[in-house]
Amino acid sequence: MCYICGMNSKATFTFWKYQGTGNDFILVDNREFDFPKDDMDFIHHLCDRRFGVGADGLILLENDDLSDFRMVYFNSDGNESTMCGNGGRCIVAFAQELGILKDGASFNAVDGLHQAKVVGEHIELEMIDVEEITAIRNYYFLDTGSPHHVQLVDNLSALNVKKEGAKIRYGIYGETGCNINFVEQESDDTFNVRTYERGVENETLSCGTGVTAVALAMYHSGKTNAHTVTVKTRGGDLKVRFAKTGEGYSNIRLNGPATKVFKGQWQA
């Protein structure tokens, strides 16, 4: 693939690199709306780990009339995507660095309004309510801002996540796709997960909406009775707490670290 053809070679801007349990993002302050966000090839190039900055996705912080800011998220393939939980936590840490907020935030994303608060070095992010979890054969399907397939497996550490995840992502969900989470239970309230993310088309070290989906699906299946669940990813541990409301779930909170890696200047 030619990364030069069709790429906005004149773009010059400051960017920040953040990561949340190994899920890494390029963040850009786009309140002046001068970033070329319609250029998919350029975004794909920026996220490429050999030819660009390297990241699982790119996030723009923009002005919003109804909240502190708007989050616009792109997968590493350059497509604007659905909600990203770890990205949501990272953009709150980024907004704090920019001086937009101190201890808490309200921001808009593609799935609606989110509340978040800074707790030491951690960010606690309110996720959308989940009204339905569907059990199908040996897996569960639910939407936590992004669609997720949750499946219990044995010997998780030995699983070829890229191969098996792609097989399910395309085989069951087609071109639109779905994120695929493979889960192994460690204790009554602790689970290990490895996630194949659509748009990245590979395993990522962590997925915030996926971790949220795992916690809810494991409660729904009766594997845990805890309303605060620890989910261990390859990039670190996250906690999910929630309330059961009728058939659904509300007051869902995703808690974990969000860390600045570095700040840089892109000069093509």
Which whole-number Å values give the CA distances from 71 to 12, 81, 95, 109, 231, in the listed order? 21, 11, 10, 5, 25
- The residues near 61 (Cβ < 8 Å, ≥ 6 apart) are 27, 28, 29, 30, 31, 69, 70, 71, 91, 94, 95, 98, 100
Query: Is-contact 3 51, C-beta < 8 A?
Result: yes
Active site residue 84: yes
Alpha carbon distance 150, 144 (integer Å): 12
CA separation, residue 13 to residues 34, 42, 48, 87, 268 (Å): 9, 13, 17, 20, 9
Catalytic residue among 47, 84, 90, 178: 84
- From 47, 90, 178, 207, the catalytic residue: 207
Q: Are 22 and 7 in contact (CB under 8 A)?
A: no
Query: Are the C-beta atoms of 135 and 149 separated by less than 8 Å?
Result: no
Which residues in 137-189 belong to E strands, given as ranges?
Answer: 139-143, 147-152, 179-187
Amino acid identity at 28: V
Do the Cβ atoms of 109 and 73 come closer than 8 Å? yes
**From CA 118, how far away is CA 121, in angstroms rounded?**
7
Count CB atoms within 10 A of the CB of residue 181: 30
- Catalytic positions: 84, 207
